[in-house]
Chain A
Amino acid sequence: MRYALAEGAQGFVRNGLMSAASVLITAVTLMALGGALAAAGALDHVAAALARQLQVVVYVRPGAGPGKIASLRDGLARLPGVVRLEYVSPHDALGRLESQLGPGARLRGLLAHNPLPPSFVVSAARPQDLRTIADGARNLPDVDDVRDGGRVLDRLLAVVRAIRLGGTAAGVVLACVALVVIAGTVRLTVFARRAEIEVMRLVGATAWFIRWPFVIEGAVTGACGACGAAAAVAAGYWLIVRGAARALPFVPLPGPGEVAVDVVWKLLVWGVVIGVTASLLAVRRYVRV
């Protein structure tokens, strides 16, 4: 074992430039994979938070009088799954919009009259109630429009799926490239040591004894690439989260530490798998016993 470790490390160091290229290509590969993983993870987190908010917004038909609004409130309250109802008057709505746009906004001075309709914010007990509440609300009189968080959630989850799929597809293609590059590098070592391999076979070393140093070289390459990729993904994510915290304060994103820990071990596993597979490919022809 000590022999294998020493020889494996030596192979990695001796190949200098080619090893660096292998590490780099592995890092790029795993960055794509890690980026997709981190993005999908973060959006999953957001989707879960949205699902936890569990709200449907019901906009009242403009011009409905207080009586109609009161009966609509009763109608909404009777829908199954509703746990809370909040009335938002046009005045309140304008105030919310102003506060969302930031301190500089003075909508009241710009508009002759308030164009925003009154609305109800309906809270549900469980995510699966959102759809039935929205459908029930649409059938009530004096309802203009219903925005249910469910639809946003659906769209968000579709985006998450797309990122996962795209990231995985890009990852697979790049992984193949990394495989070829690492195999090429390890083959340099195999070639440099072919006399030794020949003698080892001759004097009765087992196939695995001969393979181990190369497997270790490949694993080291893959692991180095993975560490690089993980660092890059964590740094990129940290930058994005810092920016996002300013632009989208109400979106709850997971912390960079959390993401890094989650992504690092996945990337390490993938890096080592790619490295080892590449090495085995590289020695296959030489070590058929």
Chain B
Amino acid sequence: MLRFADVSKTYAKGVRALAGVSLDIAAGEFVFIVGPTAAGKSTLLKLVYREELPTRGAVLVNGLDVTRLRPRDVPFLRRRVGVVFQDFRLLPRKTVWENVAFALEVTGAPPRAEGRVVEVLETVGLAGRADALPGELSAGQQQRVSIARALVHRPPLLLADEPTGNLDPDTSWEITQLLARINAAGTTVVVTTHDTAIVDRLRRRVIAIDAGTVVRDEAQGGYAGTVAAPSAAGGPYGGGEGGSDGAA
């Protein structure tokens, strides 16, 4: 689904964001990309949806090298890759429904495709708030709207850049579970985060990046290496749904 082949990215000002990154993400995977601020996590995602071009290397999405994409073909890539951000990027004057439908409207989707809006709002659990403005919603609900918008084109790949960065721990976990559900329904999900709690709790593949290189890649990792035993008492999610927390 997603392959980085020896990818380096140096920004114009000489800042080196990525240095020789190679990784493979299969269809249907759920992957956390973790690392400190400015480690190159966001750059990694930007290379996938062609917001940035790598200085060297190839980025393959579904076998297609997006670095060789002509500019006029880029919009069609973006309809196949959903993106979610820390700051939601919703349009404040449009309702929930309009924000989601906007993605269809501006890509020339036929009007009947708008039944799809209801569908994705149900997926994220906001069908009842379709007429609300983003300002009337909680941060977690706003992030759900932005996830709905990212899904409206039925992309096989969903990228989330620090999706829980602005959320409190409980809401973060809810959003993470939503992403896991979307993944379970067949969408490949890649999440960058420095939220140790959700990573340690969900126990999925973790790719750690530091100073632009992959320093760790574990199939069922925790944030800071193999999680020995997350402490239920001191952890932010102590007393969660249980089961998935491991031995406490």
Contacts and interface: CB of A to CB of B under 8 A. Distances in A.
Interface of A: 3, 195-196, 198-207, 209-210, 288-289
Given A209-B108, A289-B74, A289-B75, A203 B91 contact: no
A204 B83 contact: no
Contacts of A198: 89
B91 A196 contact: yes
A4 to B, nearest CB: 10
State the 10 A-B residue pairs at the shortest beta-carbon distance, nearest first: A204-B78, A204-B79, A203-B103, A205-B106, A204-B75, A206-B75, A200-B106, A289-B71, A289-B74, A204-B107
B106 A203 contact: yes
B71 A203 contact: no
B205 interface: no
A204 B75 CA distance: 4
Interface centre among B91, B103, B106, B149 (most CB of A within 10 A): B106
**Secondary structure of the A contact surface, majority rule:** helix
A204 B149 CA distance: 12
B168 interface: no
B76 A199 contact: no
B80 to A, nearest CB: 8
Interface string B47-60: 00100000000000
Nearest to B49: A202
B89 A203 contact: no
Given A195-B89, A207-B71, A289-B71, A202 B108 contact: no
Chain B: number of interface residues, binned into ranges:
20 to 34
B72 A3 contact: no
A204 B89 contact: no
B77 interface: yes
21 contacts: A3-B105, A3-B106, A195-B89, A195-B91, A195-B92, A198-B89, A199-B91, A202-B78, A203-B79, A203-B150, A203-B152, A204-B75, A204-B76, A204-B79, A205-B106, A205-B107, A207-B75, A209-B107, A289-B72, A289-B74, A289-B75
B139 to A, nearest CB: 17
Nearest to B106: A205
B102 interface: yes
Interface of B: 49, 71-72, 74-79, 83, 89, 91-92, 102-103, 105-108, 149-150, 152-153
A206 B72 contact: yes
A196 B91 CA distance: 7
A288 B75 CA distance: 11
Contacts of A199: 89, 91, 102-103, 149
Contacts of A204: 75-79, 103, 107, 153
A196 to B, nearest CB: 6
Contacts of B83: 202
B77 A203 contact: no
A203 B152 CA distance: 9
A274 B238 CA distance: 65
B160 to A, nearest CB: 13
A204 B152 CA distance: 12
Nearest to A209: B106
A192 to B, nearest CB: 11
Contacts of B74: 289
B49 to A, nearest CB: 8
Contacts of B91: 195-196, 199
Contacts of B103: 199, 203-204
B24 to A, nearest CB: 25
Nearest to A208: B72
Given A202-B89, A209-B106, 7 more contacts: A201-B78, A202-B49, A203-B107, A206-B75, A209-B107, A210-B106, A289-B75
Contacts of A210: 106
Contacts of A206: 72, 75, 107
A151 to B, nearest CB: 60
B152 to A, nearest CB: 8
A209 B153 CA distance: 17
A102 to B, nearest CB: 72
A3 B72 CA distance: 20
Contacts of A203: 78-79, 102-103, 106-107, 149-150, 152-153
A3 B91 CA distance: 16
Nearest to A288: B71
A205 B107 CA distance: 5
Interface centre among B75, B89, B91 (most CB of A within 10 A): B75
A210 B71 CA distance: 14
A91 B106 CA distance: 85
A289 B70 CA distance: 10
B54 to A, nearest CB: 16
Contacts of B75: 201, 204-207, 289
A203 B75 CA distance: 7
A191 to B, nearest CB: 15
B97 to A, nearest CB: 15
